[in-house]
Chains A and B, each alone.
Chain A
Amino acid sequence: MINSNSELILEISDLHAQVEGQKILNGVDLQIRSGEIHALMGRNGSGKSTLSKVLAGHPAYKVTNGKVLYRGEDLLGFEPEERARLGLFLGFQYPVEIPGVSNIEFLRVSTNSRRKQLGEEELDIFSFEDFVDSRLKLVQMNPSFLERSVNEGFSGGEKKRNEILQMALLEPILSILDETDSGLDIDALRIVAGGVNQLTNQDNATLLITHYQRLLDEIKPDFVHVMSSGRILRTGGSELARELEDSGYEWIENELPKTGES
């Protein structure tokens, strides 16, 4: 919900970034306040996932210009693990499989790192089992997935549920969900979206990266941004997503002159 007096959680100014020498972000500007849900849309290769990786601190992505303030602090000065502990969460488009590392142990170590930051008591194995049990229901996830290696052999839908489970455990302030809807059937999409809806409140914010209206039917955004060639070309309300669904991206790209590097 939009409230111009609420806390400014993320402020991106003129952000430029590259990976392996290739410029991907060419001057991104974006502000996100607490209580808001933003949707970021755009063609493949427009820079949406790059923006999410840069914000989460992926070491392969190099910021060449601009700044990012997270709750007033320089986000880019923090290591990825510090960003996570400060409440930034990235839901991966392709969650990584980690053979041999048990999911529940991974979740417990992650949760405790965040709890420590919040000054909360770290959970032992038994307390964590109770805690995770309460969160499993949010994503209707079978507890047997906790005993398996992280994401190993999970279907696409199970991986995404595991991502939202992590979001539920870490209780982030800013969640960036990178194509959480990809690879989900209608039922799985509703479950995952339902989980996200239950986790959003006035004290946190969400940035949804998606191609499709169908996710935005389930999670209503306050703002929709269209990205092209590494910049946000247009910002609007949820009606913008419907226009994109009907007309594609071309009309926006043609309508606005390209500026800066692309």
Chain B
Amino acid sequence: MDRERITKDGRKLKMSLQETKLWESLSEPRGPLASIQLSARESLKSRGMPAASEETWRLTDFQLLESILHLPLSSSASESNCSSVFDMPSPPTEGFRLMLSPGSEPLGLESLPKGFNLLNSEELKEVLGKALEHCGSNEDWSVGLNNSCVDNVLALRVEGIDLPSLELVISGKDGEFSATRVILLVEKNTHLNFLQVLLGAFNSAHSHLIEIHLAENASLNHEWLAFGGGKSSFLSHIAVEQQPKSDYSFTSIQKGWLFSRFEPCLVQVNGQASTKFRGLQIADSNEQIATNSTIRFDGPEGDLDQLHKGIAAGTSHSIFNGCIEVPQPAQRTSAAQLSRNLLLSNRSRVDTKPELKIVADDVRCTHGATVTELQEEQLFYMRSRGIEQIAAANLLLRGYCQEIISSLPMSFDRWKVLEHVLEGLRG
């Protein structure tokens, strides 16, 4: 049963079956985000599904994307169950854990530690969508999809010194499409260690949107573990706005998703801030894992250090699009971006596109990309020391991943990140 949509310019277009199904499965807008839901749905209907003609969606496997929309939207009545297949460690001793399930109240909110407060409705209204707006992400399809579906938001303000670390675990539901949204305000002179764990399994699909505001002199160490399983899919968008003298260090791991699209967007609103991005994505079997990062400097003297690594095995497809924008006001910006990729089979595929858009004239920006296989000389060197070929390849893989994983002080040991990452991978 196909329907028609009216585009912004008044054209009538046919709507796909999957899209029609999605709109039919959505319940009436409700909760504090009702008005946002309404306008997002209208906007998304008029926009339509992403198309290969759009640069950032060019390489997308649309069959996999649309399969997400086959799934019914999650209802609060059913329990999240994707976490059950993971060996969940105890909460951090120096911190606390929140469990966020789509459509229900987060677990653990009743005993928030000192320095952590939920935003009231007025405060929420003030900040909701601000980081998205600054990042220019409001029109993104994946943001629109999340806005259309999510009816609650976990909004936290964090302020103080010597704060416990925050661990936020989010998991999907088998056979359902679920969506969650988070806002995090890190106030002046506050330092926070923040771990997000996003779990998928079975035939689940999840959309996650987080907005982060870093005030002046704030610093945030943000770790992001996105572990899928089965035929799970994941769409995620991060919008970060950084005030001057703030420090944001972000390390992400993605593995195990049949389809994953990850969109970290960041803007240094007045420059003079420091940003560090470390990312590792592993695609195996017939998976498609994509990262589309956008970082913009709207003021002078900002700095960025970005390293993104991809591994493609089996018949998988790993994609990285990394855009750095340095407009006229961003004089004396220093930005470095490197995309390194490893092909583990001759049927896997890597597409990488580091991109610099520089208008300011007094800047130091570098970017680069490599796509390689395991180095024969490195393998031979290890074999010539008595190490079996398979063990040597595994040591090389471990070394390749270690550079990123070593930036995960909160989760490295407790969540056995290295074991998860290397599990099933063969050089």
Contact = CB atoms under 8 A, between A and B. Distances in A.
Interface of A: 56-60, 79-81, 83-85, 89-90, 92, 95-96, 98-101, 105-106, 109-110, 113-114, 117, 149, 166, 170
B385 A113 contact: yes
B383 A114 contact: no
A100 B385 contact: no
Interface stretch (B19-27, B75-83, B392-400): B392-400
A117 B387 CA distance: 12
Given A98-B396, A100-B399, A110 B377 contact: no
Interface in B365-416: 375-378, 380-389, 391-392, 395-396, 398-403
Contacts of A100: 398-403
Given A59-B376, A60-B376, A98 B381 contact: yes
Contacts of B375: 96
A92 B387 contact: no
Contacts of A92: 381, 384
A99 to B, nearest CB: 6
Given A59-B376, A100-B403, A84 B383 contact: yes
Query: For chain B, what secondary structure do more than half of its interface residues adopt (helix, strand, loop), or is it mixed?
Result: helix
A98 B376 contact: no
A57 B378 contact: no
Contacts of B382: 98, 106, 110
Contacts of A83: 384
12 contacts: A56-B384, A60-B376, A80-B380, A81-B387, A81-B392, A84-B385, A92-B381, A98-B382, A99-B399, A105-B395, A106-B382, A170-B386
Interface residues on B, range: 20 to 34
A80 B399 contact: no
Contacts of B388: 81, 113
B224 to A, nearest CB: 20
Contacts of B400: 99-100
Nearest to B406: A100
A98 B378 contact: yes
A44 B389 CA distance: 31
Given A59-B380, A96-B378, A98-B378, A166 B396 contact: no
B395 A81 contact: no
Interface of B: 375-378, 380-389, 391-392, 395-396, 398-403
Nearest to A116: B386
| Residue of B377, B378, B386, B389 with most chain A CB atoms under a 10 A cut-off | B386
B381 A166 contact: no
Nearest to A152: B399
Contacts of A56: 380, 384
Contacts of A57: 383-384
Contacts of B377: 96
A106 B385 contact: yes
Contacts of A109: 385, 387, 391, 395
Nearest to A82: B386
Given A59-B376, A60-B376, A109-B391, A96 B386 contact: no
A166 B399 contact: no
A35 to B, nearest CB: 24
Shortest 5 CB-CB contacts between residues of A and residues of B: A100-B399, A113-B386, A110-B385, A84-B386, A101-B399
B385 A166 contact: yes
B376 to A, nearest CB: 7
B127 to A, nearest CB: 40
A217 B400 CA distance: 42
Nearest to A53: B380
B394 to A, nearest CB: 10
A100 B376 CA distance: 16
| Residue of B382, B384, B400 with most chain A CB atoms under a 10 A cut-off | B384
Contacts of A106: 382, 385, 395
B114 to A, nearest CB: 39
Given A59-B380, A60-B376, A98-B378, A81 B399 contact: no
